[in-house]
Amino acid sequence: MRDVAIIGASQTKFGELWDVSFRQLITEAGLGAIDDSNVEGADLDAMYVGNMTAGLFIQQEHIAALIADHTGLNPIPCARIEAACASGSLALRQGIMAVASGYHDIVISAGVEKMTDVVDATPAIATASDQEWEAQQGATFPSLYAMIAKRHMYEHGTTREQLAKFSVINHKNAAKNPKAQFPFEITVDQVLNSSIVADPLTLLDCSPVTDGAAAIILCPAEDAKKYTDTPIYVKASTQASDTITLHDRKDITTIGSTKVAAKKAYEMANLTTKDIDTVEVHDCFSINGILAIEDLGFVEKGQGGIAVEEGITENGGEIPVNPSGGLKARGHPLGATGIAQAAEIVWQLRGDAGKRQVEGAEIGMTHNIGGTGGTAAVHILSR
CA pair distance 373, 255, nearest whole angstrom:
6
Q: E strand or H helix at 351, and its extent?
A: none
Report the pLDDT value the prediction gives residue 73, as an integer from 0 to 100.
92
**Would the pLDDT of 119 be above 80?**
no
Residue-wise pLDDT tens digits, 159-199: 999 999 999 999 999 999 999 999 999 999 999 999 999 99
Domain identity same for 360 and 248: yes
Q: 8, 33 in Cβ contact below 8 A?
A: yes
Report the pLDDT value the prediction gives residue 359, as an integer from 0 to 100.
97
Annotation says 152 is catalytic: no
337: phi then psi, degrees, rounded to nearest 5: -60, -50
Residue-wise pLDDT tens digits, 254-283: 999 999 999 999 999 999 999 999 999 999
- Catalytic annotation, pick one of 78, 85, 219, 284: 85
Report the pLDDT value the prediction gives residue 118, as an integer from 0 to 100.
85
Domain identity same for 104 and 244: no
Average pLDDT over residues 27-37: 97
Domain identity same for 295 and 329: yes
Domain identity same for 157 and 115: no
Domain identity same for 83 and 152: no
- What's the pLDDT band for 122 if we cut at 50, 70, 90? confident
Domain identity same for 196 and 292: yes
Annotation says 70 is catalytic: no
Q: 108, 78 in Cβ contact below 8 A?
A: no
Sequence-distant (6+) residues with CB within 8 A of 308 are 162, 165, 166, 169, 289, 290, 293
Domain identity same for 168 and 220: no
- What's the pLDDT band for 152 if we cut at 50, 70, 90? very high
Q: What burial class does residue 2 get, using C-beta atoms within 10 Å of its C-beta: 0-12 exposed, 13-18 middle, 19+ buried?
A: middle
Domain identity same for 136 and 114: no
Q: Domain range spanning residue 88?
A: 4-119+210-232
Domain identity same for 149 and 242: yes
**Would the pLDDT of 14 be above 80?**
yes
Average pLDDT over residues 48-62: 96
**Would the pLDDT of 294 be above 80?**
yes
**Does residue 117 or residue 69 have the better pLDDT?**
69
Domain identity same for 128 and 50: no
- What's the pLDDT band for 28 if we cut at 50, 70, 90? very high
- Catalytic annotation, pick one of 104, 332, 367, 379: 332
Residue-wise pLDDT tens digits, 346-359: 999 999 999 999 99
E strands, 253-361, are: 278-280
Average pLDDT, rounded, for the chain: 97
- Say how many domains are in the chain: 2
Report the pLDDT value the prediction gives residue 123, as an integer from 0 to 100.
87
Say which CATH number the domain at 32 has: 3.40.47.10
**Would the pLDDT of 142 be above 80?**
yes
Domain identity same for 164 and 298: yes
Domain identity same for 181 and 130: yes
Taking Cα atoms as reference points, which of 326, 339, 338 lies closest to residue 29? 339
Residue-wise pLDDT tens digits, 213-268: 999 999 999 999 999 999 999 999 999 999 999 999 999 999 999 999 999 999 99
Report the pLDDT value the prediction gives residue 100, as an integer from 0 to 100.
98
Residue-wise pLDDT tens digits, 295-315: 999 999 999 999 999 999 999
Q: 154, 287 in Cβ contact below 8 A?
A: no
Q: E strand or H helix at 159, and its extent?
A: none
CB atoms within 10 A of CB 120: 8
Average pLDDT over residues 280-298: 98
